[in-house]
Amino acid sequence: MKFTKMHGCGNDYVYVNLFEEKIDDFAKMSIKVSDRHFGIGSDGLITIGPSDCADFRMRIFNADGSEAEMCGNGVRCVGKYVYDHKLTDKEEVDVETGAGIKHLVLNVKDGKVETVRVDMGEPIFSAKDIPVALDLDKVVDYPVTIGDREWKITCVSMGNPHAVVFVDDVKNFEIEKYGPIFENNALFPKRTNTEFVEIISDSEVSMRVWERGSAETFACGTGTCACVMACILNNYTKDKVLVHLLGGDLVIEYDRESNHVFMTGPATEVFNGNI
């Protein structure tokens, strides 16, 4: 099987072109290729194939084989892949995901895509739609006891569930201790991605993310969008925010008129290979 290793801000996946390759068991394949000692090494597997309703369809499988609805860093890399590998010559493409169709604007330099701006769609705040097992309309700055301490959580869905927690020192935060406890807490029927966020200013934050099914990753596109929406809901930032992640920076912009969130960031191809 031919594959391409790509990353967005260090959030790395193995990409397989289903126009050329066939996979019988996606979950099993994702577990195999994701293993950093016995496989290729990645946060998961992303497939690129035909769509009945868009230019392309992407599917995302986490390192544990579970399927995710959406991946912001992954969809940027899909945009780069389809253009750089000449599956399209368009600089605007629509990609079908488990969280709906995403519109991508490709920023091309010298024949290659450098950055991608993604319309990530409308944020979802309704607790039952995220889902969060709380009888609330919105979960904003809500006190909960998880593990050995009380937290204030703000929950957002960007097609997949996110719980955002604000901390004073994100660099030294014990994410390995608390990430799994959040992910598997009964409050989150579909598990959750958790963003631990430090506010720097009203236009700049730092974030670390614990992704369900993949542990801590270097970046999470949907999580970065959820983080900024949580900042806005709590009146911490303006509508355009630079977010520092372990693997790089993303710019997130909330357009109040359309109620859409836009993400701009890099997409990088690392290597091609056979397995």
Query: Cα–Cα distance between 107 and 21 in angstroms, integer?
Result: 28
Contacts of 86 (CB under 8 A, 6+ apart): none
- 9, 77, 220, 231: the catalytic one is 220
CB 50 within 8 A of CB 56: yes
Residue 258, helix vs strand vs coil: coil
- Annotated catalytic residue 155: no
- Annotated catalytic residue 220: yes
- 71, 77, 227, 231: the catalytic one is 71
Query: Cα–Cα distance between 102 and 93 in angstroms, integer?
Result: 8
- The full DSSP string for 41-96 is --SEEEEEE--SSSSEEEEEEETTSPEES--HHHHHHHHHHHHHTTS---SEEEEE
Could you give the residue numbers annotated as active site? 71, 220
